[in-house]
Structure 1
Amino acid sequence: MHTADEDSRARRLFWWLQLGGWTAYGSLGYLNGLAHGKGVDYWRLPLGVAITGFLVTLLVRQVLRRAWGLPPARFLAVAAACVLAASSVMGVVFLSLLIDWCGADCRPASTLGYVAYTTGHLYVVLSWVGLYTGIKYYRQLQQQTRQALAATAMAHQAQLKMLRYQLNPHFLFNTLNAISTLVLDRSNDVANQMVQGLSAFLRHSLDSDPMQRVTLKQELDALNLYLGIEKVRFGERLVVETKIAPECYSALLPSMLLQPLVENSIKHAIARMVEGGRLVISAERRGGQLLLGVSDNGPGCPDLPADDSQGNGNGVGLANTRERLRVLYGDAQSVRVRNRTGGGVEVTLSLPFEQGGAPRE
């Protein structure tokens, strides 16, 4: 994520290096000519070559910027072509100025001489390309380091928010109250099942590592711990359906990514309907993207556009999910929220499809 200040500093650094470098090159060329007995009017040659180098490397810069995302082999081929083309242009300009300065006596006697002149500036352009590429790679490495640090901070923040939600007194009160009711009704087996589910859920919450990505299968296993508690509370009022493409079970994603979305659906849709409702969790691969969906058949959200129009949503859980994905994947992700035709809300997450080990059975 580049900020405006970072881009401005990078541009200033480039122009300082570009102007200073070619000014120094022209000055050194002129002093070297004087040291070898050239006349004072020799300045036209190093000045002309320096101006030419300044201009052609600006074109090389544009080509390298466009080719930056290519595979290394193709990028090196483009860079090599730029070096040859730019050095040839500088060589032709230098030879033309040299002949104009000292006459036909300076004209090369053979084709090999012409080739030597046209490739004589190869090392200069090669140095320029190497310096430009090195600085750009260094800045990219710095950017990746900052993104990794930001992702670390966001993951810890997400874990704290997750734990704060999971230990929410309201959530614990509802769960414990449901257990108490089951005990009074002498439904001891069901009560014991619910206690075990709550224990497993809290243990997983405390043991989960926010920095470790998990497979979708593992994420669904963790989600089922939460849903198991809610199913006891809501009984037949909560129907959960999963539509997972087989190849998606081993896809990697940030841990505890789906739970805030499921919690939103239960809280704002299922719990508000007397007859209960249906929750659908889906996953599919579309090209190089993993599409995750959580939808319900509740009353929908009046703050969102109707039908198939897309909105952003403004809940805390959605904001946290959106920020986590933005830090981890940049522009390669998206979060879309919409009111479904016929009722309910659908949240769709899109992130790069990456696979880890085999899914747990």
Structure 2
Amino acid sequence: MITIVIVSCYLIALLWAVVKNINYWEIYKHGYRPDEWYMYFTNTINSLIMVGCWSGVYFGIKNFQMLQKEKQNALKASTMAHQAHIKMLRYQLNPHFLFNTLNAISTLILLKENDTAEAMVSRLSNFLRYSLDNDPIKRVPLGQEIKALRLYLEIEKVRFDDRLEVLWDIDEGCESALVPSMILQPIIENSIKHAISKMENGGRISITARTFGNDLLMDVADNGPGADIKDGTLSRENGVGLANIKERLQSLYHRNFAFSIEHNQPSGVRVRIRIPYEVKDV
């Protein structure tokens, strides 16, 4: 390939040298023509250097454009893969919640508690609409997320009645903070499954949010029987809920976040999340 390029450049340089010499003789020597044929090819080296320089510039620009295009394609592919990965993590909700809710609605209908069943269907519809309509790539205000969590907890309260107590402690100003959609729901679902449902007299879930400097701090804690925690991971966790949260945070915030699972006092499990405090531009 290099040989072909060099030969092509040399032939072009020869042709260019001939044209330059003829033009020079025609204009400045009034139609002079040399007696020897090789005189037509004088200054070929200078022409070859010029052709080589222009060829180098041309191929350099084309190579740069090709590399930039490949870089853009690779970046686009990486972005699409990144977004697809986040969406996959976001939509891996525990189907047990839906099954349990539908079973509870069926039970309410059998018990002729139609008003409660209708309210539960409405809440379930609104909750599922929220969970599916919000793009997992984008962030939503915490206040909007809390409204969806209230819908979810109202559905669960129909199942657990007085056995489920929920405490909210959301500092003023936090509701406008942007958070990944459905980031707290798997934590609360995990608490209900492994804490509230295991306690005969029910239990309590505390949800707090506050700002600290340039960060937003969110906690979800229960007073259940607790769990074995090894290296910040629940040994009982065999699903995708909590693992997905950490992966989503990693994808969205890279290293600028914290996610920890620890023992609650006096009993239970506490999950802490720290992310940058950001608000939507007006």
Deviations 1:206-227 (A, max 9, x none): 3222222101001111112211
Deviations 1:66-108 (A, max 9, x none): xxxxxxxxxxxxxxxxxxxxxxxxxxxxxxxxxxxxxxxxxxx
TM-score by length of 1: 0.54
Give the fraction of aligned pairs with identical amino acids, expressed as a percent. Answer: 48
Higher relative contact order (CA 8 A, sep 6+): 2
| 1:346 partner letter | R
Tell me the residue number matched to 2:246.
322
By how many angstroms is 1:148 displaced?
A: 4.5
Q: Residues 323 and 223 (structure 1 numbering): CA distance in 2 closer, same or farther, change over 3 Å?
A: same
How far apart, in 1, do the equivalents of 2:88 and 2:267 lie? Answer: 33
| 2:171 partner letter | A
Tell me the residue number matched to 1:198.
124
Tell me the residue number matched to 1:230.
156
How far apart, in 1, do the equivalents of 2:178 and 2:190 lie? Answer: 23
Tell me the residue number matched to 1:353.
277
2:91 to 145, 154, 160: 160
Residue correspondences, number: 209
State how 1:272-283 maps to structure 2 within 5 Å. 272-283=198-209
How far apart, in 2, do the equivalents of 1:187 and 1:282 lie? Answer: 34
Counterpart contact for 2:165–2:204, Cα < 8 Å = yes
- Gapped regions of structure 2 (runs ≥ 5): 1-67
Tell me the residue number matched to 1:312.
233
Tell me the residue number matched to 1:83.
none
Q: Residues 149 and 290 (structure 1 numbering): CA distance in 2 closer, same or farther, change over 3 Å?
A: farther
Deviations 1:238-291 (A, max 9, x none): 111111111111001111111111110000000111111101111111111111
Q: SS at 1:331's partner residue?
A: coil
Counterpart contact for 2:227–2:234, Cα < 8 Å = no
State how 1:52-91 maps to structure 2 within 5 Å. none
Counterpart contact for 1:326–1:333, Cα < 8 Å = yes
1:337 aligns with 2:257: no
Deviations 1:35-79 (A, max 9, x none): xxxxxxxxxxxxxxxxxxxxxxxxxxxxxxxxxxxxxxxxxxxxx
Q: SS at 1:161's partner residue?
A: coil
Q: Residues 242 and 148 (structure 1 numbering): CA distance in 2 closer, same or farther, change over 3 Å?
A: farther
Q: SS at 2:209's partner residue?
A: strand
How far apart, in 2, do the equivalents of 1:357 and 1:263 lie? Answer: 32
Counterpart contact for 1:147–1:328, Cα < 8 Å = no
1:244 to 170, 187, 195: 170
By how many angstroms is 1:151 displaced?
A: 3.9
How far apart, in 2, do the equivalents of 1:339 and 1:248 lie? Answer: 25
Pick the structure with greater CA Rg: 2
Higher mean C-alpha displacement, 143-152 vs 321-330: 143-152
How far apart, in 1, do the equivalents of 2:175 and 2:220 lie? Answer: 16
By how many angstroms is 1:159 displaced?
A: 3.0
Q: SS at 1:249's partner residue?
A: helix
By how many angstroms is 1:144 displaced?
A: 8.4
> By percentage of residues, which structure has more helix?
1
Q: Residues 265 and 334 (structure 1 numbering): CA distance in 2 closer, same or farther, change over 3 Å?
A: same
By how many angstroms is 1:149 displaced?
A: 4.4
Q: Residues 173 and 146 (structure 1 numbering): CA distance in 2 closer, same or farther, change over 3 Å?
A: closer
